[in-house]
Amino acid sequence: MAVQTPSSNQIDGKKIAEELRARVGSAVKSLPQHPTLAVVLVGDDPASQVYVRSKIKFTQECGMRSVERRLPENASQDEVVATVRALNEDTEIDGILVQLPLPKGLDSDAVIEEIDPSKDVDGLTETSAGRLLLGKTGLRPCTPTGCVILAKAALGDLTGKNCVVLGRSILVGKPAALLFLEQNCTVTIAHSRTKDLAAICREADILVPAVGRAEMVQSDWIKEGACVIDVGINRVPNPAKPGKTKLVGDVDFPSAEKVAGAITPVPGGVGPMTIACLLRNTVLAACHRRGWETPDIIASL
């Protein structure tokens, strides 16, 4: 991955994701057959439908097969589990993604645990989490992986960098910390109970806010020249368009941009990387399951 050019301190997540998708597409062409990603969508949530359409589109653009399993809003836990189990048993399916959140009344954790770990392209099962913690090979969560790739695009080798992950969720915070640790960073996990939180953040060469609180991180929380990877996606009122909303991150971007050496915008930063990393995981899963050699072009971050 090319190092970010010094002409701008904004990290272009769209461009870097496009480059990764191109690498995935090249990898797919070298395989004996095209990998297949299955997406399970339960209910009619508009945002989920948009995400699924986007995932299907990019899967197909990379030369892979896409299979969609739709269930109604009132689907039972047993019906969702049966759908996942059927995909586990289908030898043509290489990756399984259950679109979250599931409708109210369904146990998301129990559904995720039904996914065959070898097909867990979201990296969310307990087996995947355990392999990450133990430093064993496996499928890594997509958003945290995207964060590492973006940081490397901005900084190159991350060895010895102080990384502060702001947030301790099992979806982003904890796995991101472990992935940056794999890159030989010195990692601190900070959270709402951390004493003098701003001071801790100011120690970071790489700051990864992932708390879901709009514009929580102010410019005086950021060390001069630090790399800021903003994972937050928050919808807030848009003063320029009364009655409308806009997306912002966990960082006060206008002020932070003046301090940071490199920073991701919201939208257009981490978001595009999540899907690109999902596609990479699908190819990795297919190679592992089928005994194919992993193409060098996607083998490492």
> Active-site positions?
55, 99, 122
Residue type, 191: H
> What does DSSP assign to residue 120?
B
From CA 110, how far away is CA 237, in angstroms rounded?
A: 35
Query: How do 186-190 and 95-98 pair as beta strands?
Result: unpaired
- Residue of 151, 257, 255, 256 lying closest to 205 (CA atoms): 151
Residue 226 structure tokens: 């630090």
Annotated binding site for NADP(+): 167-169, 233
Count of alpha carbons within 13 angstroms of residue 262, beta-carbon side:
24
Measured over the CA atoms of residue 82, residue 88, residue 92 and residue 94, the dihedral's sign is positive
> Given strand 262-263, what is the order of strands in its sheet?
186-190, 162-166, 206-209, 227-228, 262-263
Query: How do 65-71 and 36-42 pair as beta strands?
Result: parallel
The backbone torsions φ and ψ at residue 261, rounded to the nearest 5 degrees and listed phi first, read -80, -30
Tally helices (H) and strands (E) across the chain: 11, 10
Residue 286 structure tokens: 């297919």
From CA 59, how far away is CA 84, in angstroms rounded?
A: 19
3-state secondary structure of 41: strand
